[in-house]
Chain A
């Protein structure tokens, strides 16, 4: 039996801060793009365009919806940039926005800059494990990859991130 809209709203509200953090990560730190992606994800869930089938936890399922929605928005924005004069607008390619990095403290800014240099999958897995406190298996579900692949991304990403952060320190 699928949950009622009221129950879904309660669940979404509970997840809201974490989901916003994830939407930010999926939108390269662009706050406005993250809000758009999150709002569109809420509508998908509440309108029944994305249905929770109970195979995963609600959180991993919803994070996958947010990730997909943010990717759709990025593709739409990329197509929009083909229009004349669209190059004047902001760019969102999934990498952390330099302006967003500057808005954070020095330590966090360094972390964001180091994350920005990683491949997308590694960045996603590390965010899900360290920021969202998900297990590697749950991160694999969100990103839609096998557990083995997620583990590889986790290990390589962690090593690369540590190397970059240590390099900054020296």
Chain B
């Protein structure tokens, strides 16, 4: 019984194999298509990489162009040793003296 069932299934599958076999593409054609597809994919990857590189360069160039310029004249550098240069009465050198008024701060002396 089991063998008869197997035989029947084998016949059905043989029919399927025959029908599939009638539509098998030629081996050489499949191989050629595979190689063409691979080359095309390779070219696509190279093209995508070049495109990404160009986009990156353009983005970097544009971002540099729109950045506000640094005002060097307005930059004041505070060195950690600035306090050593402070002199007693140094404010006298930065103020304009007025007649009849004492601008010297005695407490600072």
Residues of A within 8 A of B (CB): 9, 12-13, 16-17, 20-21, 24, 31, 35, 38-40, 42-43, 104-105, 107-108, 111-112, 126-127, 130-131, 158, 161-162, 165
Contacts and interface: CB of A to CB of B under 8 A. Distances in A.
Tell me the interface secondary structure of chain B in the complex. helix
Tell me the interface secondary structure of chain A in the complex. helix
Nearest to B31: A42
Contacts of A105: 15, 19
Interface of B: 5-6, 9-10, 12-13, 15-17, 19-21, 23-25, 27, 30-31, 33-35, 37-38
A42 B34 contact: yes
Given A39-B34, A43-B38, A130-B13, A16 B27 contact: yes
A108 B19 contact: yes
A40 B34 CA distance: 7
Contact of B25 (A12, A35, A126): A35
